[in-house]
Amino acid sequence: MRTFSQGAYIETAVAYCGICKDTFYRSLRDGARSQEDCLTKKLSDALWVTQAEIRDLKIIDKAAQGSPDIPARDEAGNLILDAQGF
């Protein structure tokens, strides 16, 4: 989970851990369907939470960098431009 949460793709993180991709996805599906509080259920739940956190951090990072599609604005709603007028 640490490798994945540091930004690696799922397949990369799984390969790094020495787990077959098909085995991982089968366990993930089984865990998502499980009604028991088992290890695969916990893994499935943790993976979805981690994916959401990574997605949110990417959005925050993009906004902090002043991405062109997410313009920076002040409290009054005015665009904030840099020294070059961008």
Chain centroid to CA 27: how far?
A: 20
pTM for this predicted structure: 0.45
Q: What 3-state class would DSSP assign to 27?
A: helix
Q: What are phi and psi of 6, to 5 degrees?
A: -85, 5
**17-49 pLDDT per residue, tens:** 888 888 888 888 888 887 777 877 887 777 777
